[in-house]
Structure 1
Amino acid sequence: MNTEVLIVGAGPTGLTLANELLVAGVSTTLVDKLAQRSPVSKAGGVQTRAQEAFDQRGLLEPLLATGNHQTSTAHFAGIPLLLTRGRHRLPWRTIPQVVIEGFLEQHLAAHDIHVRRDHELIGLTQHDDGVTATFANDVTIEAGYVVAADGAHSTVRSLLGAEFPGRVGKSTAIAADVRLDGDAPMLTRTWSEDGYSAQVFALGTDPEGRPLHRLALGGPDRSLSRDVPVTEDEIRVGLRSVFGERVRLLELRYARRITNVSRQAAQYRHGRVFLAGDAAHVHLPIGAQGMNTGIGDAVNLGWKLGAAVHNWALERLLDTYHTERHPVAAAVLRNVEAQSLLMDWDGKHDPDVIAAKDLFASLTQLPEVQFHLDDMLSGIGIRYAMPGSDDRPLVGLPAPDRNIGPTRLHELLRSGRGILLDPSDKLAEIADPWSDRVDRTGVGADTDPMLVRPDGYVCWTAGGDHSTDGLAAALTSWFGIPHG
């Protein structure tokens, strides 16, 4: 079997990447070792930038139509950031991982891209013009490129021998999807005298319209192995210890033990093999950042692989996947470690930590602090280092979703091509040699000249003087040698 790109792992990262490659016109094979899709949602919060990425491909509206996906308030270490409400067109929403996976899998199937299940990878060999992948079911796939989206215990990463430095998980707690009866406070972490802690998040409703919640429950013994099963009695004892009789467990949907592990791959690119999502970075699930970071990896990498497959990418374009995305996940790991400290994840009740959290909570009453934290958590503040990003405010940031004539900029990005906004109709001579991969538009629109990559990031602006300096260099850097 031959394919241009092989994706190993059909979670949110792999499925998003498969759609990005579909938009880029690349033949893709998507495999997963599971015989059927998991019914478990390890994640559920979808931040602003991830929603924008789906919107750019025309997927957000049909995704939201799959259910009553409630908007939520951002928080940092369980401290609600109430001043950020209404700050973004697309606020943080609760969309369970299983819903996202099911939606994306159906969307891909409608375009004749089907997940090949029960494919356990056992071998990976790189050569000059591709990669040979072998599976336990005697299937061999020849691919131009391979992407590991196979999770925290990535087989691809192991076969590569890729470095995965960081901290092992030293303490565990319970993450459970539950139906509760009573009045549990949202977000704020609540402690009991005998060492239990609980934090509750709304997850929307089940098909019968009944409220669901995600419960984070810590016990006095944080040394339990992740392999120890979680029981209903264990959760009932913890709820009773923290809330007394005012909160009761009605139904346990799903539970697992989570740890404060913190690891990140040293390199995301290994020749023709790339690491993405949890295969590249793992951390304690706080703030709905893990799945969102994986989706961001996929959106960043997809169009670049498409450019390489279509033979117009400069060689260094694929290297920018690591240089742009590695710092993003590193920043996520740092903020998660800070949040876990302020939340007293280890249950030590250190008075110094309590004092630090009290001080931090008072600082979050300042709008500037809440907005900074919101930018960090939502993904809107992610800025890639690019030529011009030091002195031109928008370069390296997500493009603002401005109206361009009768449509929005994000709708223009559904083609998967670059967009050059040329309101004064003066850039044709420079840009036309790239017309097979960049659409020039916006003549007469009330906007500034701007070049936007297929992933929605600004890579050139004209600056205050509307000079065209740097445009040809930006087109070459991001869209290769021009035709003709």
Structure 2
Amino acid sequence: MDTDVLIVGAGPTGMTLANELLMAGVSTVLVDKLSQRSDLSKAGGVQSRTLEALDQRGLLEPLLATGDHPVTTGHFAGIPLPLHSNRHRLPWRSVPQVVIEGFFEQHLAAHGLHARRDHELVGLAQDDNGVTATFANGVTLRSRYLVAADGAHSAVRSLLRAGFPGQPGTLTITAADVRLSGVDPSTSHTWNEDGHWAALFPLGTDPQGRQLRRLVLGGPGRSLPREIPVTEDEIRHGLSTVFGTRVHLLELRYARRITNASRQVEQYRHGRVFLAGDAAHVHLPLGAQGMNTGMQDALNLGWKLGAAVHGWAPKSLLDTYHAERHPVGAAVLRNVRAQSLLMDWAGTRDPDVLAAREIFTAMAQLPDVQHHLADLMSGMAIRYPMPGTETHPLVGRPAPDLGLGPARVHELLRSGHGILLDPADTFARVAGPWSDRVDRVGQGADTEPMLIRPDGYVCWAGADDLEPALARWFGEPR
């Protein structure tokens, strides 16, 4: 073997996974077909659950120190959710994808892991013991496992001939990183009577302190083939159509066309090959859910691959990656399709759509509705299917802010181990044989007993049957 795990694709998903494997002490090779890291900000926000995960790895504070990354108010279908930023301990932040990739690249390099670039995958074969990957530059690498994090046009997915059902793209919209003048800071989504619309999201400031924004334009006549370049004149015309003469383009930094394709791979696992991020699911970029869902795919998979490499993974552990993450991806596709319908991406001004949006907008002012949508969009509503979900409200969910306080729990998770909260010191003897994989925290935790996986999800809670849960998630005892 050249390495334990080969990751194809050095975007946010691939680099998040590389960090998880690095922390687990697993030899990893990270490759990418690009000759240098992309400077395109394909996503612009980090959700609450992803921020929690970064905090659990000790990465959140240094990431936020890289620049001005303001807290942002969420939206659903362009309808503001004012209560969104107060819903969770770590509210959404405006952190462009290009910043996240640069941060991870430096972090991994500081630990000796550098992406191998100019590696375009052209061949893939696997057997009972490993995976052989062949690249256009003549390099061949052999690994125990391979993870596809190579984006929407995944070469790995194509070579696997993996089923990728869903809806093809029927129209395009334009997304651009810009500097503008004349913008009302409270402006997020704007429509005109002809169906043309614009969405604006803050991207922080550039090194000169100038405000950057993500601009998205759509409406009648704006759906052009993806290969046609986006010009400054096109952006200016789109701005004038929606805003008139009050908003002006000062600088166009990057632009692309995005389709409304919505697809999800049928299986996230193919033997020793796993698919994650856009290689597994594609959809319209709403709420940065593509990037965040991909990073959370990596967080779910990383510790499980580490367990498999180190030899203590229960037989079914790697299969739980598909069982847990496929429903999450499917739920994201559903909410994106619902948002695109309510937003009237094509600018049809269909009376039925307008009526549905009017009613939904009124409902979205209710606190309970806002809280539900905030949990849905932030990743905090995730509940993985696992034994115990039928009987205990905490099992399958992210570890709550209880007992030790969130900061202390997050510090404990930085070891990459599981955590057993044992406030009455009841389970010291039972948990002892797993002490190399599970850190037990005794008196001082003002909560009921709880077992937390390395990815921060509760996998057991209560007072009975701890030993089967330890074996299910952490393998045979020493």
1:328-361 CA distance string (max 9 Å, x none):
0100000000000000011111011001000001
The number of residues matched between the two structures is 478
Task: Determine if contact 1:404/1:442 at 8 Å carries over to the other structure.
Answer: no
- TM-score when normalising by structure 1: 0.97
Alignment of 1:335-350 (within 5 A): 335-350=335-350
Task: Give the letter for the 2:95 counterpart.
Answer: I
The 1:152/1:405 distance shift into structure 2, 3 A limit, reads closer
Alignment match, 1:258: 258
Alpha-carbon distance between aligned partners in 2 of 1:389 and 1:343, rounded to the nearest angstrom: 35
1:283-319 CA distance string (max 9 Å, x none):
0001111100001000000000000001101121000
Alignment of 1:51-90 (within 5 A): 51-90=51-90
Task: Determine if contact 1:452/1:459 at 8 Å carries over to the other structure.
Answer: yes
Q: CA offset at residue 155 of structure 1?
A: 0.2
Alpha-carbon distance between aligned partners in 1 of 2:7 and 2:26, rounded to the nearest angstrom: 12
Alignment match, 1:93: 93
Alignment match, 1:133: 133
Specify the SS of the correspondent of 1:45: coil
Task: Give the letter for the 1:16 counterpart.
Answer: T
Q: RMSD of the alignment, in Å?
A: 1.4
Task: Determine if contact 1:186/1:202 at 8 Å carries over to the other structure.
Answer: no
* 1:108 aligns to 2:92 (yes or no): no
Alpha-carbon distance between aligned partners in 1 of 2:444 and 2:174, rounded to the nearest angstrom: 56
Specify the SS of the correspondent of 2:86: coil
Task: Determine if contact 1:450/1:458 at 8 Å carries over to the other structure.
Answer: yes
Specify the SS of the correspondent of 2:224: coil
Alpha-carbon distance between aligned partners in 2 of 1:121 and 1:231, rounded to the nearest angstrom: 32
* Higher mean C-alpha displacement, 145-154 vs 422-431: 422-431
Specify the SS of the correspondent of 2:239: helix
Alignment match, 1:412: 412
Alignment of 1:400-439 (within 5 A): 400-402=400-402, 404=404, 408-439=408-439
Q: CA offset at residue 57 of structure 1?
A: 0.5
Specify the SS of the correspondent of 1:93: coil
Alpha-carbon distance between aligned partners in 2 of 1:147 and 1:367, rounded to the nearest angstrom: 41
* 1:215 aligns to 2:215 (yes or no): yes
Alpha-carbon distance between aligned partners in 2 of 1:95 and 1:110, rounded to the nearest angstrom: 21
Gaps of 5+ in 2: none
Gaps of 5+ in 1: none
1:110-165 CA distance string (max 9 Å, x none):
11111000001111110111001111111111100000000000000000000000
Alpha-carbon distance between aligned partners in 2 of 1:244 and 1:185, rounded to the nearest angstrom: 17
* Higher mean C-alpha displacement, 41-50 vs 184-193: 184-193
The 1:21/1:369 distance shift into structure 2, 3 A limit, reads same
* 1:472 aligns to 2:467 (yes or no): yes
Task: Give the letter for the 1:220 counterpart.
Answer: P
Alpha-carbon distance between aligned partners in 1 of 2:214 and 2:263, rounded to the nearest angstrom: 24
Alignment match, 1:274: 274
Task: Determine if contact 1:5/1:146 at 8 Å carries over to the other structure.
Answer: yes
Alpha-carbon distance between aligned partners in 2 of 1:233 and 1:442, rounded to the nearest angstrom: 64
Percentage identity across aligned positions?
72
Alignment match, 2:293: 293
Q: CA offset at residue 444 of structure 1?
A: 3.2
- TM-score when normalising by structure 2: 0.98
Alignment match, 1:166: 166
Alignment match, 1:46: 46
Alpha-carbon distance between aligned partners in 2 of 1:187 and 1:154, rounded to the nearest angstrom: 36
Alpha-carbon distance between aligned partners in 2 of 1:359 and 1:299, rounded to the nearest angstrom: 37
* Higher mean C-alpha displacement, 217-226 vs 25-34: 217-226
Alpha-carbon distance between aligned partners in 1 of 2:2 and 2:403, rounded to the nearest angstrom: 42
Task: Determine if contact 1:4/1:27 at 8 Å carries over to the other structure.
Answer: yes
The 1:405/1:200 distance shift into structure 2, 3 A limit, reads closer
Task: Determine if contact 2:219/2:346 at 8 Å carries over to the other structure.
Answer: no
Task: Give the letter for the 1:398 counterpart.
Answer: P
Q: CA offset at residue 189 of structure 1?
A: 3.1
Alignment match, 2:315: 315
Q: CA offset at residue 441 of structure 1?
A: 1.0
Alignment of 1:167-206 (within 5 A): 167-184=167-184, 186=186, 188-206=188-206
Task: Determine if contact 2:201/2:215 at 8 Å carries over to the other structure.
Answer: yes
1:203-256 CA distance string (max 9 Å, x none):
111111111111111142244111111010011111111111110111101110
Alpha-carbon distance between aligned partners in 2 of 1:83 and 1:132, rounded to the nearest angstrom: 49
